[in-house]
Amino acid sequence: MKTLSVLLLYLTTTIMISQTKTNLPYFELPEASKNFTAGTVAARQIDALGFRFYHATDGLTQQDLEFKPDDDAKTSSETIKHIYELSKIVLNSTLKQDNIKSQTVLDFKQLRTQTLLNLKQAADILRSSDDISQYVIIFGDNTIPFWNNINGPISDSIWHCGQIASFRRMSGNPINPKLNHFTGTVKKD
């Protein structure tokens, strides 16, 4: 009976993981918009971040998550949590919501999934918008223009994706060599 329970748990977990992996956005970049607007350009920048984050974090091991090159650096796990927090700022901006610190604790898979979903939702909102100036960053009574999303959370997250890619290479688990960042595609075998 115990063996059957363990087998059922294993199969259920495997199915859930494979479903989650296949349903996550940004394995490849979505098709580019035919129109160039502020919204489609901002959305494409977030899509590019999503693509980089997807692949920088795909297949990370516990060793990769705990890796840091020296005592003063953050671990890859801490960096992923930071990117998640930045993705919430971008999403909250597009939802016109205040940024309130959450005490929710998420594990790596939850952080990765939610970060990708946050980026996708924000990009979709921006893609359909004619006026992105309405998407200010809100911190209580302070509102900050959308510009700061570009040079702040979005650019910072892209920077950190590079760190994760470098750290995982140093810990012996480099990213998929079949990625083409220029086209946002993955070379098929």
| Per-residue confidence in pLDDT tens, the chain, 189 aa | 545 443 333 443 444 444 344 589 999 999 999 999 999 999 999 999 999 999 999 999 999 999 999 999 999 999 999 999 999 999 999 999 999 988 889 999 999 999 999 999 999 999 999 899 999 999 999 999 999 999 999 999 999 999 999 999 999 999 999 999 999 999 997
Domains and CATH numbers, the chain: 38-183 (1.20.120.450)
Q: Are the CB atoms for 84 and 95 separated by under 8 Å?
A: no
DSSP 34: S
CA 101 to chain centre: 18
Task: Give the chain's length.
Answer: 189
Run of H or E including 55: helix 38-57
